[in-house]
Amino acid sequence: MVAQARQHVVGLPEDVQHRITIVEGDMRALPMAASGPFALICLPYRTFQHLLTTPDQLTALRGFRQRLAPGGRLVLNQFDPTADMVRVLNDPEPSDQVSELPVDMEFAEPGSTRTVRVRYRRAYALEAQILQQLFFYEILDGGQVVDVEQGELLLRYTYRYEMEHQLELAGFRVVSLAGDFAGGPYGGYGEQVWVAEVA
């Protein structure tokens, strides 16, 4: 991702390039190169959910708070999987056959005639609030599966009032909570789009 970001920056106008610093680090211990102060810290696409414990989440939030300027804002989104969890916990165990699992997406492999079909299986560790998603990448050549690779994604889901409490403990005031990126109302589960500012 860092390499791709650097490639992208090279294609930007020169005056924009000079305003960009790419830093690789752990969000629980932000490197000095990301010292701020910043007007905005944004964690897109459920980045925050890669922190798998409450202490890690709170440590990161406190670090963000320290790097924000007065009036600075934190924006993040996460997924409350309540509806999906009900389905997964009540449905029969998914098949062990990869070919019978749901398809998430299919795309052409860059620089090749092959395609990749992505299938997945989900499970939940309720006591830790962890979603485990196993991905199976079927490599197809001429329409036939020639190889299957596997990956795992672990995300910690945080319920609405738990997140409000963590933000308050870290020194934030919630500005808004939306249920989608267009600012629609939060319906109790699904997407959570949070905007918080330094209290």
CATH of the domain at 71: 3.40.50.150
Residue 4 tokens read as 């791709």
Q: Can you give the pLDDT at residue 133?
A: 94
Q: Can you give the pLDDT at residue 73?
A: 98
Question: Is 177 part of a structural domain of the chain?
Answer: no
Do residues 101 and 146 share a domain? yes
Question: Is 13 part of a structural domain of the chain?
Answer: no
Strands 68-80 and 38-43: parallel
Q: Is the peptide bond between 37 and the residue preceding it cis, with omega within 30 degrees of 0?
A: yes
Q: Can you give the pLDDT at residue 36?
A: 83
Q: Can you give the pLDDT at residue 169?
A: 97
Residue 35 tokens read as 């010292």
Do residues 138 and 98 share a domain? yes
Q: Can you give the pLDDT at residue 94?
A: 72
Do residues 123 and 148 share a domain? yes
Do residues 59 and 107 share a domain? no
Distance (Å, whole) CA 34 – CA 24: 10
Backbone angles phi, psi at 7, to 5 degrees: -60, -40
Do residues 34 and 48 share a domain? yes
Distance (Å, whole) CA 9 – CA 83: 39
Distance (Å, whole) CA 155 – CA 57: 12
Q: Which domain holds residue 40?
A: 25-78+158-172+194-199
Do residues 100 and 128 share a domain? yes
> What b/e readout covers 39-69, taking b as 16+ CB neighbours within 10 angstroms?
eebebeebebbebeeeebbbbbbebbbeebe
Residue 192 tokens read as 């959570």
Do residues 142 and 166 share a domain? no
Residue 7 tokens read as 């490639």
Domain count, the chain: 2
Backbone angles phi, psi at 27, to 5 degrees: -70, -10
Question: Is 130 part of a structural domain of the chain?
Answer: yes
Question: Is 184 part of a structural domain of the chain?
Answer: no
> pLDDT 10s per residue in the chain (199 long)?
899 999 999 999 999 999 999 999 999 998 887 788 999 999 999 999 999 999 999 999 999 999 999 999 999 999 999 888 888 888 877 778 898 898 999 999 888 889 999 999 999 999 999 999 999 999 999 889 999 999 999 999 999 999 999 999 999 999 999 999 999 999 998 999 999 999 8
- Which residues, 6+ apart, have CB-to-CB distance to 24 below 8 Å? 2
Beta strand ranges found along 12-129 (DSSP E): 38-43, 68-80, 103-108, 115-125
Do residues 128 and 31 share a domain? no
Question: Is 89 part of a structural domain of the chain?
Answer: no
Backbone angles phi, psi at 35, to 5 degrees: -80, -25
Q: Can you give the pLDDT at residue 174?
A: 98
